[in-house]
Structure 1
Amino acid sequence: MSKHKISFNVDVRERVGTGGAREARRLGFVPGVLYGGDLAPVAINLKKAEVIKAIETGQFLNTTATLIHKGEKQLVIPQGIQMHPVSDQPWHVDLRRVEPDQIIKVEVPVHFKGQEASPGLKKGGTLNVVRHSVELNVPAAKIPEYLEADISALEVGDNVKISDIKLPSNATPAITDRDFTIATIAGRGGKAEEEPAAVASADAVPAAKAKAPAAGAAAAPAKGAAPAKGAAPAKPAGKK
């Protein structure tokens, strides 16, 4: 699960401020700032085509990149990118210096495998993804491209937790106080087991109501039985 190799050929931007950034964009560059470590921040220009290519990997903000300046290389991790609100083109980039063994915090996407084999999905269950990505503390040089969750043996009601996922060497979840859930296999509407009982109960209600006397009505006495005490005697038919 190696990361996409992203690199930027950069130049130091001598002119800083709004005027320098505007000039950089006019010349086909994306202005940026490099900071972090023991060195002072440096204004830089990145080639626009290289920035766009990095964005298109879909992992620009959760992977490291290599800056190349006059043959010297520096490992960095992008910290933010601004896009133009109208043209949606890259407008400014912030990069932070890191060392290969430095522990950094990054979001890593989760990929799921085994959907075609999952008995729970075969029975009509659905994959309910709780976390599409997981935040890890990991060495800068060992950031995985993605984490893999195997759901091939899961039944309805089963789940995948972070402890079920193999993490790269020296990587730990940023959340450490619980074994949190990544995804579950849910039944249809979450009530698949309750539906038959609910239908049977609904069918039984009309029959029960048909046998019950109307509210406030006295039950008819059996043939030949005396009327209930206090009840008015029945009047003969045809007489008023």
Structure 2
Amino acid sequence: MVQTIRIEAAARERAGKGAARATRRGGSVPAVIYGAKQEATLLALDPRDVMKELHKGGWQSHLYEVAVAGAAPVRCLMRDVQFHPVSDQPIHVDFQRLAAGQKIRVRVPVVLLGEDVSPGIKAGGVANLVRRDLEVLSDPDSVPERFELDVSEANIGDTLRWSNVKDQQGTSPTIPRDFVVLTVAPPVVVEEVIVAAPVAEAPKGKGGKGAPAKAAAPAPAKKK
């Protein structure tokens, strides 16, 4: 079962770009919780809490309890983070509120098993992970941390699909077919081409058969 992460937040009273800019000037990151047919909740987050989650990776499949003083914690998913185009710092966060009994759409990373014994990889093949994470529908209380794909028997040219995932953990894919997750590609052969240097030709003369021979020096005149 995926861990639920608690984030402390402060309430914001006003919406709009001006209010969001004022929140950022105050050192916080504006955020909103939407969904479950309820009014949006405006928040202000500590930027250190946001960066901590982003550095973990896989934040789109984590469950969060966002706690605002004076209100019950809200279970939600972190759906989107907007960044400043220059500083690359988070400037806005969107959370989706979870309704009771609602299945959620999450992206779960894929982890490979058995790469060290795979005959295809040992023969020089390349494990080409077509989908590094898989989008599935899952119960909020049992979101997988990862999917495991066993390549220990994969040969060059083999294709592994969704049906090859070891434990799908009660999830269903959002793509309605047995899609490709990984292929074992043949090794890339680089041919070395040696180009011979051109042979320099002797300069041609007017007759076209090489340089003209030097004219013989005239014999010295005999003294009488």
TM-score bracket for the superposition, by shorter chain length: 0.7 to 0.9
Contact 1:100 1:141 in 2 (8 A): no
Give the aligned partner of residue 97 of structure 1: 97
Partners in 2 of 1:73 and 1:124 — Cα distance? 52
Give the aligned partner of residue 60 of structure 1: 59
Contact 1:7 1:65 in 2 (8 A): yes
Give the aligned partner of residue 27 of structure 1: 26
What is the percentage of aligned positions where both structures have the same residue? 34
Matched position secondary structure for 2:156: coil
After alignment, is 68-77 or 46-55 more displaced?
Answer: 68-77
Matched position secondary structure for 1:41: strand
Partners in 1 of 2:124 and 2:80 — Cα distance? 41
Deviation string for 1:106-163 (max 9, x for gaps)? 2211111111010111112111222112110111222212111010111222221111
Contact 1:33 1:43 in 2 (8 A): yes
Contact 1:75 1:100 in 2 (8 A): no
Q: Give runs of aligned pairs for residues 121-160 of structure 1, distance below 5 A.
A: 121-160=121-160
Q: Give runs of aligned pairs for residues 4-19 of structure 1, distance below 5 A.
A: 5-19=4-18
Q: Which runs of 5+ in 1 are unaligned?
A: 192-240
Matched position secondary structure for 1:182: strand
Partners in 2 of 1:100 and 1:75 — Cα distance? 10
Matched position secondary structure for 2:9: strand
Aligned length: 187
Matched position secondary structure for 1:6: strand
Matched position secondary structure for 1:86: coil
Q: Give runs of aligned pairs for residues 63-212 of structure 1, distance below 5 A.
A: 63-70=62-69, 72-99=72-99, 101-165=101-165, 166-169=167-170, 171-176=171-176, 178-189=177-188
Deviation string for 1:59-89 (max 9, x for gaps)? 2223221101226211111221110111111
Q: Aligned-pair distance for 1:55? A: 0.8
Contact 1:32 1:46 in 2 (8 A): yes
Q: TM-score, normalised by structure 1?
A: 0.72
